[in-house]
Amino acid sequence: MNLLSLLFLGIICVSGENNVYNYEVDCNILRMGQYLCPDPNYDLIDSKTQQLKGCTKENKARVRCIAVEGLNCTETGNSTFTREMPCKWTNGYSFETALLLSIFLGMFGVDRFYLGYPAIGLAKFCTLGFMFLGQLIDIILIATQVVEPADGSAYVIPYYGPAVEVIRSDNYTYRLKQDDW
């Protein structure tokens, strides 16, 4: 980096010995490749929910990150800092439990009671799962994660990694005009 770009980014040289320079920078403006998030030396996955520790209802968690060698953060004085990362807030509803309840006791509405939908659960109980057709539909809806817990949380899935992302369309979704070919 040249001196002009360092001044533009707010980077200050704090020491330079044996041609090794340490720069102090506001770590909130670091670009991709200038930091590693999350810090691999930091235990950040909650073993019960399989999500980032500290995940809130706003679907964000603050995790500890580490800047590349030679950059120190002005906030902490060293190379570590915290940054917000996306996550899925869970409230303890197990995906496997919901699916098994739907398969074996869905005709009695137990799956809907478990997920926090008592009115639909009572209707399924009184009609024997809408004559088993509602049970079959609920098995498909829960397996594809279209029906989620009523409190807006995500399911607890027993592994950390890729997950189903449901894409929904509403009144604010619209089709962009395409250029003519």
Chain Cα centroid distance, residue 20:
38
pLDDT at 101: 97
**Domain end (from 39, 69, 88):** 88
Domain count, the chain: 2
Q: Are residues 83 and 99 in the same domain?
A: no
**Domain end (from 53, 88, 123):** 88
Q: Which residues pair with 173 in a beta bridge?
A: none
Question: Considering only CA atoms, which of 95, 87, 99, 88 is closest in space to residue 155?
Answer: 95
Assign 160 a pLDDT band (cuts: 50, 70, 90).
low
Q: Which residues pair with 86 in a beta bridge?
A: 60
Round to whole Å and give the CA distance between 121 and 131: 14
pLDDT surpassing 80 at residue 168: no
- What's the domain range around 124? 92-156
| pTM score of the predicted model | 0.69
Q: Are residues 76 and 135 in the same domain?
A: no
Chain Cα centroid distance, residue 116:
22
Over range 70-99, report the average pLDDT. Answer: 89
Q: Are residues 23 and 73 in the same domain?
A: yes
Q: How many CB atoms lie within 10 A of CB 121?
A: 19
Does residue 103 lie within any of the structural domains?
yes
Question: Considering only CA atoms, which of 152, 159, 171, 145 is closest in space to residue 47?
Answer: 159
**AA identity, residue 175:** R
Q: Are residues 136 and 108 in the same domain?
A: yes
Assign 41 a pLDDT band (cuts: 50, 70, 90).
low
